[in-house]
Amino acid sequence: MTIDKSMNVLIVDDYKTMLRIIRNLLKQIDFHNVEEATDGAEALNKLRAGSFGLVISDWNMQPMTGLQLLQEVRVDSKLKSMPFIMITAESKAENVIAAKQAGVSNYIVKPFNAETLREKIEKVLGHA
């Protein structure tokens, strides 16, 4: 079974250069339907209004952090099972544990490469 690479992917980061990098890396691994949000509130609005198969979010954002976004997603009846990957420079064990307890699907530490991104997406979507 192969991954449906035509799915909509929402990438969330308050740093536009990073959004551009992730969008291009996703394109390199054949995910072309990518939408962007620059903060947690915008991401929630887009998720509630649209149809997405995956969220990839930064952690270090203001005013809503990626962790808070994840928590909001997990308590939303429509979004609670949404695959959610955190991509972050936060590499302390306490961060990973907090993200896991909040229901993160996978966790990628920056700097990362396209292969790690592909591998984690495949794992999250159940096609490892």
Partner 1 sequence: MAAATAHYPVPQADAIADIVQCVLATMRGTLTATEATLLAEVEELGRTIAAAKAEIAALKFDDITASHIPSATDELDAIVAHTAAATDAILESCETLDKVGAEVSGTTQRQLQDATTRIYEACSFQDITGQRITKVVAALKAIDKKVTNIVAAFGDHSHYASEVVPQQPELLNGPQLPACAMDQGDIDKLLASFD
Contacting range for partner 1; rule: CB under 8 A; set: 4-12, 22-30, 47-55, 74-82 = 22-30
Contact track, partner 1, 40-69, x by CB under 8 A: -------------------xx-x--x-x--
Q: Which of 63, 51, 55, 24 is nearest to 37 (CA)?
A: 55
**CA–CA dist 15, 13 (Å, integer):** 5
Q: Which residue's CB is nearer to partner 1, number 52 or number 59?
A: 59
User: Per CB under 8 A, does 107 bind partner 1?
Assistant: yes
**CA–CA dist 31, 7 (Å, integer):** 8
Do residues 104 and 86 lie in contact, with contact meaning Cβ atoms separated by under 8 Å? yes
**CA–CA dist 97, 76 (Å, integer):** 21
Residues at the contact surface with partner 1, assessed by CB under 8 A: 15, 17-18, 20-21, 24-25, 27-28, 59-60, 62, 65, 67, 89-98, 100, 106-114, 116
